[in-house]
């Protein structure tokens, strides 16, 4: 039977209005992020009172100029997201329950950092929480579209602990490469560890280091420029290159390019010292402080000049003329895309939104109920250094006003100098931390500021008289001094240090004791009052001369290890610990 043409046509099924659910999702994510990372008092850092994650981050990066580039990363990330706005507008909100994993892990790390009073777990927490939000509410397509901006956001966080692990191997390599370049250019140079000096010429009466004497400290090792160059290489690769392999190659090349730039900088400093003098090229040393010259400062721009030129050259080699097309695809967004958010499964999205809200509320509730009182345990060492260690007889050595000035509040330092019948001199120091965490400085920072070059840093084992042993760090040191005749003499020294905790815990290195601090504070509710024990033995220049000179450092190291093993039981005896309180 034919349909009645006069009957009204069936009404079209209306599209579901997702605006309210979308606004609720954005609101919960925004409010949760603000409460966790902008409002909640989270950490102290080094400012003496708890503040939010992003507040502490901002104060820290603005205090240290080497990390101020981190401030620009969120702005750049926002620009990258804005460039993809047309693509994002057409993506449906089809959340995936897999997002619960990064969200829950991020919230757990948030609590870990809150309990341990440190910001680094919170930085990783921000990344994981954002990934959880995107994946749980937006879905895989949104995560795929925002993956690079999310990954790029990692450059926001100052990774200061990486300075030692990255800078330490870069320093001797940079000095060695510069020495080879100088030799190829007809300027003989010698390199030992991070030290770089002009070679001697006995025929002409020219001593070692007469033309130039440089030490590749942490600021000249490439570490300060490395993270900036890695950020630039990642951004340049994303914009100018299309193939993932090409982007990865460019990113990896940021490390050798940073080293190459610093080699160019050291070459400028070496030739500047030869042509115009050390004061012009390097700067004047006033007491223990090295005043940097204008030439030294300007030479630092060579790092970026060489590295950036190398990056563009690598981009051209990898994809050549395609770079312009790759750049063009980011400039004008494609037309189209939905003008409103599509949520195909509103009930599932609502359930996912409720789960996000409950996880955030539970995390804040757990943090509110967490005991964050910082009750410091008893010190594990005594500050009453013995005046006799085996055949060594000692005398107390006063601490200078300059040393006291460099100590954090509450930190105590005692030092004793020992001499045995063989005229072997050794100095033992005990630095007891204050009532705040992270109040002990690393010898790798203090010694270079005193003019010492760290030639080598290796772990060693110290044997105690009772047959037990503990791990420590051995620093092979060198310093140039002028004798009464104005000649430059290189003095060497042996330094062994280790950390002692509140329950007979010993750690060989700074970051090992930092890790033990947080692990024990979180899972054992034990707040160590750490002490750093340092044993230093100088090697007179006279012992380094002649055929026995090559064994002088080895003998000094063995004597220092033996002394350290005999000293440890004397300063950790249980009946003496009360004196250090």
| 459-509 pLDDT, tens digit each | 999 999 999 999 999 998 888 766 666 566 778 889 999 999 888 889 998
**Taking the CA of residue 230 as centre, how many other CA atoms within 13 Å lie in the half-sphere pointing to its CB?**
18
Which of 495, 480, 20 has the alpha carbon at shortest distance from 207? Answer: 480
The backbone region for 408, taken as left when phi is positive above 0, alpha when psi lies in -120 to 50, beta otherwise, is beta
| 113-168 pLDDT, tens digit each | 998 888 889 999 999 999 999 999 989 999 999 999 999 999 999 877 666 666 66
Backbone angles phi, psi at 43, to 5 degrees: -145, 165
Neighbouring C-beta atoms of residue 537, cutoff 10 Å: 25
Per-residue pLDDT at 437 exceeds 50: yes
Burial 81-97, CB ≥16 within 10 A → b, else e = eebbeeebeebbbbbbe
CA dihedral 282, 283, 284, 287 (to 10 degrees): -80
| 171-203 pLDDT, tens digit each | 777 888 888 888 888 888 887 767 787 877 666
pTM comes to 0.79
**β-strand partners of 192:** 195
Token output for 85? 């706005």
- Specify the higher pLDDT residue, 14 or 451: 451
| 214-224 pLDDT, tens digit each | 777 655 555 56
Determine contact, residues 501/572, Cβ cutoff 8 Å.
Answer: no
Q: Containing H/E element for 177?
A: helix 162-184
> Distance between CA atoms of 154 and 17, rounded to whole angstroms?
36
Determine contact, residues 262/222, Cβ cutoff 8 Å.
Answer: yes
Helix, strand, coil percentages (3-state) for the chain, rounded to 5, are 55, 15, 30
Per-residue pLDDT at 110 exceeds 90: yes
| 347-398 pLDDT, tens digit each | 888 999 999 999 999 999 999 998 887 777 788 888 889 999 988 999 998 8
Distances (CA, A) of 267 to 37, 255, 467: 45, 19, 51
Q: Vertex 197, ends 193 and 202: CA angle to 5°? A: 125
């Amino acid at each position: 039977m034919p349909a009645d043409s006069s009957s009204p046509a069936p009404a079209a099924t209306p599209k579901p209005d997702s605006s309210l659910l979308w606004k609720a999702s954005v609101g919960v994510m925004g409010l949760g992020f603000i409460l966790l990372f902008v409002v909640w008092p989270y950490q102290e850092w080094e400012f003496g009172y708890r503040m939010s994650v992003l507040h502490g981050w901002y104060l820290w990066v603005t205090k240290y100029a080497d990390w101020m580039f981190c401030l620009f990363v969120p702005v750049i990330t926002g620009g990258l997201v804005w460039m993809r706005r047309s693509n994002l507008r057409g993506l449906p909100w089809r959340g995936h329950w897999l997002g619960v994993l990064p969200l829950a892990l991020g919230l757990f790390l948030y609590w870990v950092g809150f309990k341990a009073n440190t910001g680094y777990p919170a930085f990783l927490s921000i990344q994981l929480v954002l990934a959880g939000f995107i994946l749980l509410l937006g879905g895989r397509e949104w995560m795929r579209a925002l993956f690079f901006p999310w990954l790029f956001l990692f450059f926001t966080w100052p990774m200061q602990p990486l300075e030692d692990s990255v800078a330490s191997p870069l320093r001797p390599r940079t000095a060695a490469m510069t020495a080879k370049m100088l030799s190829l250019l007809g300027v003989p140079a010698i390199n030992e560890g991070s030290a770089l000096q002009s070679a001697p010429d006995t025929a002409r009466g020219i001593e070692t280091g007469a033309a130039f004497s440089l030490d590749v400290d942490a600021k000249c090792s490439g570490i300060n420029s490395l993270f900036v160059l890695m950020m630039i290489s990642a951004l340049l690769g994303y914009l100018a290159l299309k193939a993932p392999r090409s982007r990865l190659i460019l990113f990896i090349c940021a490390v050798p390019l940073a080293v190459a730039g610093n080699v160019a900088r050291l070459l400028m400093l070496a030739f500047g010292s030869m042509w115009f003098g050390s004061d012009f090229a390097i700067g004047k040393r006033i007491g223990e402080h090295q005043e940097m010259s204008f030439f030294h400062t300007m030479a630092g721009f060579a790092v970026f000049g060489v590295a950036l030129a190398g990056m563009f050259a690598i981009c051209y080699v990898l994809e050549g003329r395609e770079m312009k097309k790759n750049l063009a695809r980011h400039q004008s967004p494609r037309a189209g895309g939905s003008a409103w958010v599509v949520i195909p499964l509103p009930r599932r999205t609502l359930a996912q939104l409720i789960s996000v809200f409950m996880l955030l509320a539970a995390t804040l509730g757990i943090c509110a109920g967490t005991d964050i009182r910082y009750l410091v345990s008893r010190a594990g060492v005594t500050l009453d250094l013995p005046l006799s260690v085996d055949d060594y007889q000692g005398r107390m050595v006063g601490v200078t006003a300059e040393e006291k000035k460099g100590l954090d509040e509450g930190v105590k330092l005692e030092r004793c100098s020992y001499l045995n019948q063989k005229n072997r001199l050794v100095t033992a120091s005990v630095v007891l931390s204050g009532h705040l965490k992270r109040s002990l400085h690393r010898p790798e920072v203090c010694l270079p500021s005193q003019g010492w070059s760290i030639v080598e840093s290796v772990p060693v084992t110290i044997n105690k008289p009772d047959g037990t042993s503990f791990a420590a760090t051995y620093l092979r040191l060198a310093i140039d001094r002028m004798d009464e005749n104005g000649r430059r003499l290189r003095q060497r020294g042996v330094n062994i240090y280790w950390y002692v905790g509140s329950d007979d815990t010993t750690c060989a290195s700074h970051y090992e004791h930092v890790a033990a601090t947080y692990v024990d504070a979180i899972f054992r509710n034990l707040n160590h009052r750490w002490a750093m024990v340092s044993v230093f033995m100088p090697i007179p220049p006279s012992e380094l001369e002649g055929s026995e000179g090559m064994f002088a450092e080895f003998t000094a190291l063995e004597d220092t290890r033996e002394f350290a093993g005999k000293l440890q039981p004397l300063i950790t005896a249980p009946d003496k610990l009360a004196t250090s309180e």
